[in-house]
Amino acid sequence: MSKVAVLMGGRSAEREVSLMSGHGVLAALRAKGVDAHAFDPAERELSGLLIEGFTRCFIALHGRFGEDGTVQGALELLGIPYTGSGVMASSIAIDKTMTKRVAGRGLPHAALPPLNGNNATADVLKAVSDELGLPMIVKPAREGSSIGVSKVAGYAQMSAAVTQAAALDADVLCEQFISGDEVTCPVIGTGDSARALPVIRIVAPEGKYDYQNKYFTDTTQYLVPSGLSAEEEQAIQAIVLKAYRVLGCRGWGRLDVMIDAATRKPYLLEINTSPGMTGHSLVPMSAKAAGISYEDLCLQLLSMATLDYAQSDKPGGELNP
C-alpha cells in the first residue's frame, strides 16, 4: 500500500472527535506494518499529499469538509484512492434531509422538510409543532455527533432550539420524537457484497445520547448482542442495507435507527459515511462482536480504498467506473 495518509482533524465542529478517531486508526495501521502518517487538512494543503508521495488516504474526518464529498472530490482530482463513500453518496448522506428524500423512499422515517433558520417565524414554528406534535427533535441538517440537537418538550422551547441549530447550519430539521430503542448497525463492503454487522442497542443515561455521553462518559451502555429478537435484528439489517445501497455508499458506513416502543416500527435516522473510530465508537464494537479486531478492521477498510472513476492511461481516454 506504500505511503498512506490518515486524514484527521479538519475544520468541522467534530474536529476533536476526528483527531481521536485518526490517532486510533494511525496506531492500528502502523501496528499492521503500514507506512501511515497523520495529515490534518486544516493545517496543510491537500496538494501536499502528492508532493509527499502519498498513494492512499484513510479518511478519519467527520462532518463538513471531510464527510460531505468535498475532500472526496479533491482526492478524485488528485487521483489518490480513499476509504469510504464517493463524492455523491457522501454529499447526500451528510444532509439528513436529502438522505430521507433519497434513501428514505420506501423506508420509514419521521421528519418534515427543513426549516430555514433565517425565516423561522413564530407562525412557522407553531405550524411545525402542530404538524409533528410534541415532544420533537430539532437538529442541524448537516452536523453529526449530536451537535446542536435539542429535544423540544413545549412550544416555548422551539425558538431557542431552532436558533441553536441554525447557528451551525442554515437548514434546520425537525423530527417526530420517537420513544423506544435506539440502535445502530454498521455496514462493510459495496453493492451486493455489502454486509451488515451486528446491531448495537444503545442505552444512554435518561435516554440522552448526546455529545458528552457519546464520547466522554462511561455510563452509556452498548448492548451487542442487542437483545432484540432475531426477527427484529434481521429487519434492521435489511433496512440499513437497503438504504446504504440506494445511496450508493461503499467501503463502510453506520446507520442509526429508532424503534418505536409501542409499535416496534423502525425509523431511519441518518447514515454516517465516515463513522467514528474512537475508544467509544460503535463500528469497532460491532466488528469485534463479529470477530474482527480493530487493527484488522482498519486494514480491511484501507484495502477497499478506491476512486469514483479510474482514468484510462490514454490521453483523452474515457473515464471508466
CATH of the domain at 268: 3.30.470.20
- Which of 236, 295, 13, 276 is CA-nearest to residue 143? 13
Whether residue 252 sits in one domain with residue 103: yes
Query: Taking residues 145-165, what's their average pLDDT?
Result: 83
- pLDDT tier at 249, thresholds 50, 70, 90: very high
Which CATH number characterizes residue 142's domain? 3.30.1490.20
pLDDT number for residue 98: 80
- pLDDT tier at 317, thresholds 50, 70, 90: very low
Whether residue 98 sits in one domain with residue 209: yes
Q: Is the pLDDT of residue 111 over 70?
A: no
- pLDDT tier at 315, thresholds 50, 70, 90: very low
Whether residue 100 sits in one domain with residue 129: no
Whether residue 278 sits in one domain with residue 210: yes
pTM: 0.83
* Domains identified in the chain, total number: 3
With a pLDDT cut of 70, the percent of the chain lying above it is 87
Tell me which of 318 and 268 has the higher pLDDT: 268
Q: Is the pLDDT of residue 240 over 90?
A: yes
pLDDT number for residue 282: 95
> In sequence order, what are the beta bridge partners of 5?
37, 57
Whether residue 290 sits in one domain with residue 194: yes
Whether residue 275 sits in one domain with residue 169: no
Tens digit of each residue's pLDDT (9 = 90 or more) over 52-95: 999 999 999 998 899 999 999 999 999 999 999 999 999 999 98
Whether residue 226 sits in one domain with residue 172: no
pLDDT number for residue 206: 64
Provide φ and ψ at 8, rounded to 5°. Answer: -150, 160
> In sequence order, what are the beta bridge partners of 260?
180
pLDDT number for residue 217: 63
Q: Is the pLDDT of residue 314 over 80?
A: no
- pLDDT tier at 318, thresholds 50, 70, 90: very low
Q: Is the pLDDT of residue 48 over 70?
A: yes
Query: Taking residues 277-296, what's their average pLDDT?
Result: 95
pLDDT number for residue 113: 63
Range of the domain at 18: 3-83
pLDDT number for residue 189: 97
Q: Is the pLDDT of residue 118 over 80?
A: no
Beta strands in the chain (DSSP E): 3-7, 35-39, 56-59, 115-116, 136-140, 150-152, 171-176, 180-188, 195-196, 200-203, 221-223, 252-260, 266-272, 310-311, 319-320
Cα–Cα distance, 133 to 80 (Å, whole number): 48
Give the amino acid at 79.
G
pLDDT number for residue 276: 94
Whether residue 149 sits in one domain with residue 103: no
Give catalytic residues, as residue numbers. Answer: 14, 145, 215, 254, 256, 270, 272, 276
pLDDT number for residue 132: 79
- pLDDT tier at 153, thresholds 50, 70, 90: confident
Whether residue 209 lies inside any domain: the answer is yes
pLDDT number for residue 173: 82
Which domain-ending residue is among 176, 198, 225? 176
